[in-house]
Structure 1
Amino acid sequence: MPDFPPLKNDLLLRAARGEETERAPVWVMRQAGRYLPEFREVRAHHGFFELCRTPALATEITLQPVRRYAGLLDAAIIFSDILVVPQALGMEVQMNPAPFFPEPLDTPADVSKLRAHVDVDKELGYVFQALTQTRVALAGQVPLIGFCGAPWTLFSYMVEGGGSKTYQKAKGWLFRWPEESKALLMRIADVCVEFLVGQVKAGAQLLQVFDSWAGELAPHHFQEFALPSLKHIATGVRNKLKAEGIPPVPMTIFPKGANSELAAIAQHAGYDTVGIDWCVEPSEARQLVGDVVALQGNMDPNVLYGGREAIEREVRRMCASFRGGRAPKGWIANLGHGITPGVDPEDMRWFLECVHKYSAASYQA
């Protein structure tokens, strides 16, 4: 592994490991993206996946929010996309502007079109290069997060051919071809393991798995189809790092919408941190997961359109609820999903400032 500058701010890593911190570390999903004018300026000259595949551009975009919000953000997350894994498996993915797969997987017979073996260094080496370059460029200011999509979410895109409101095709696979579905989910999970291990080797200091469509599954279907592949990733990454003598890094799972499954995820998935969306009260989430994991979240991203008074009020309420009348332990402040394109960057700054103020106050209460 490369020799990187020493880390100056380890607040995120301490919180992810469940340690008590002086305030909640804060970062925002999709913080490097379309709400920033500096991102739009770069994007105007390059295609989306061109940005992902060009390490110098991915590094610049990753650094943009860290630079703009110097001293306020406690992490950088590498600029990439969850759909690079289906691309590595041999599928074509376009961004027009939403994700589109010209040739989705219609039946299990189509799985034969996927690469039998994925060489992650060859297919996803550009992500590793971007991570290494970004880690050096950060000069230890904040930790660098690597990520991938969860198997169920990637499976859904690969079968649906893009986003969906009903998930008719993806769920149809689960019900019509349950064993073939499980096999494909595990096949995706194997690529995710290799991809995440490669990210750690390249410089990622924390890993996050995004299960954006977890809430689309009934609880028993989540436990049958999604949970085993999530556990496979956590176990596989840790085992491979250990086998190669590489220290483990904290791992976060964000199962958006699967709030009824938080206890099962905390007990059985094997992650250090569980991200929650805005549809569950933080104090309730803490009761569900106990002290097994740290928590991350969970302000509704649309609050950022409500003006500074609303942002401050909601951050104060969020901080109080995460504290939940007990000593704070292992909370990473974030939104309950990604920041959206129309947010005023100065309102994002206000959100970060309020988290600093009110999380510190609640921790001292």
Structure 2
Amino acid sequence: MSKLKNDTFLRALLRQPTDYTPVWLMRQAGRYLPEYRETRKRAGSFLDLCKNTDLATEVTLQPLARYPLDAAILFSDILTIPDAMGLGLYFSEGEGPKFERPLREEWEIRNLSVPDPVDHLGYVIDAVSQIRRALDGSVPLIGFSGSPFTLACYMVEGGGSTTFSRIKTMLFDRPDLLHHILDINARAVTAYLNAQIEAGAQAVMIFDSWGGALAYGKYQEFSLDYMQRIVAGLTRERDGRQVPVIVFTKGGGLWLDEIASCGADAVGLDWTVDLGAARALVGDRVALQGNLDPNALFAQPAMIEREVARLLGDYGQGHGHVFNLGHGISQFTPPEHVAALVDAVHRLSLPYHAGV
């Protein structure tokens, strides 16, 4: 593998000195880019795109060709693991992901097993290797997975949900069954992320998209505890370099102190969190990633620059901040507004690192 030319992102995650604040965007390879839509059309379907190594590599690199981002993130989907468990993932136009065989019966839950990532998710592992080669050391590659609870939400509900009534009913009526699902998921995610690291991922991120839907106490028991187990089981060094781990719970700002103690190197923040207060709370335990409201990218470039300046000022002097959105970029975002964002972060962050 080529020597890494820009390791600013990795150093920021480890709270090491950097010349500027690095930036990447959740869902940076996606539908807001016309070139992505063209590739998606050639692939035939979203799932076919995910499972085609060449095309997954192509769309991972597309935003890097447009913008001087400080990291690439593997193009895939968080639901590859339950698909590998045999639940039958498919995407319904306008309705998002669904499963042909959601978990409804106890015997189905008891029959769940951890899929071997090489045998059942080889297309993802192959993509990681190919993307690393294609990047040629320009920037680091981020691997990722959904959190055990977020995966369980889709597996039990059968798709996306606004109420989470099925999984929450199970949580209260049959917590033993939900814990069984979460245990299997945690072991699967650990093996999956370690396989991505082995294939070349230089940092990994756990997306806990639905942990914020849980009540206090339930979040700790059914989400955070399992992410902590995963973090403890990950390969944290590869090729003589540390492999940082990022944990992101959307809606998890109330539990930031506990999340910061889970063993991860960095904590992602959604846009509802005060970045300055978050830094004061976590101290030097973790780096922070975030947290611009994705809808700010619909505003004019001058306003985007003001929001960037505000967030950089909120974090203040010093290192340990990775600039990102508070959630994934909208498919309707004007691509030129992303260019304005990346330029503003790089330019306006310089004084915050000078002499520190």
Q: In structure 2, how many angstroms separate the alpha carbons of the residues matched to 1:334 and 1:306? A: 17
Q: In structure 2, how many angstroms separate the alpha carbons of the residues matched to 1:173 and 1:290? A: 37
SS of corresponding position for 1:360: helix
Tell me whether 1:220 sits opposite 2:210 in the alignment: no
Q: In structure 1, how many angstroms separate the alpha carbons of the residues matched to 2:230 and 2:114? A: 17
Tell me whether 1:200 sits opposite 2:197 in the alignment: yes
Query: 2:301 is aligned with what amino acid?
Result: R
- Runs of 5+ unmatched residues, structure 2: none
Which of 135, 138, 151 aligns to 2:135? It is 138
Aligned runs of 1:1-365 on 2, under 5 Å? 4-46=1-43, 47-69=45-67, 72-97=68-93, 98-114=96-112, 116-238=113-235, 248-267=242-261, 269-323=262-316, 327-364=317-354
Change (3 A) 1:108 1:287: farther
Report the TM-score when normalising by structure 2: 0.96
Query: 2:76 is aligned with what amino acid?
Result: S
* Per-residue deviation, 1:304: 0.3
Query: 2:130 is aligned with what amino acid?
Result: Q
Q: In structure 2, how many angstroms separate the alpha carbons of the residues matched to 1:59 and 1:337? A: 23
Q: In structure 2, how many angstroms separate the alpha carbons of the residues matched to 1:111 and 1:34? A: 34
Q: In structure 1, how many angstroms separate the alpha carbons of the residues matched to 2:274 and 2:216? A: 19
* Equivalent residues of 2:114, 2:184 under 8 A apart: no
* Per-residue deviation, 1:361: 2.7
* Equivalent residues of 2:60, 2:73 under 8 A apart: yes
Q: In structure 2, how many angstroms separate the alpha carbons of the residues matched to 1:164 and 1:336? A: 20
* Higher mean displacement: 271-280 or 43-52: 43-52
- Runs of 5+ unmatched residues, structure 1: none
SS of corresponding position for 2:142: strand
Report the TM-score when normalising by structure 1: 0.93
Query: 1:27 is aligned with what amino acid?
Result: W
Q: In structure 1, how many angstroms separate the alpha carbons of the residues matched to 2:252 and 2:322? A: 19
Of all paired residues, the percent bearing the same amino acid is 45
* Per-residue deviation, 1:113: 4.7
Query: 1:272 is aligned with what amino acid?
Result: D
* Per-residue deviation, 1:152: 0.6
Q: In structure 2, how many angstroms separate the alpha carbons of the residues matched to 1:180 and 1:113? A: 11
* Per-residue deviation, 1:248: 4.2
Q: How many residues in Structure 1 have an aligned counterpart in Structure 2? A: 352
Aligned CA RMSD, in angstroms, stands at 1.5
What CA deviation, in whole Å up to 9, does each residue of 1:199-242 have, x standing for no partner?
0111100000000111101121111111111011101113xx67
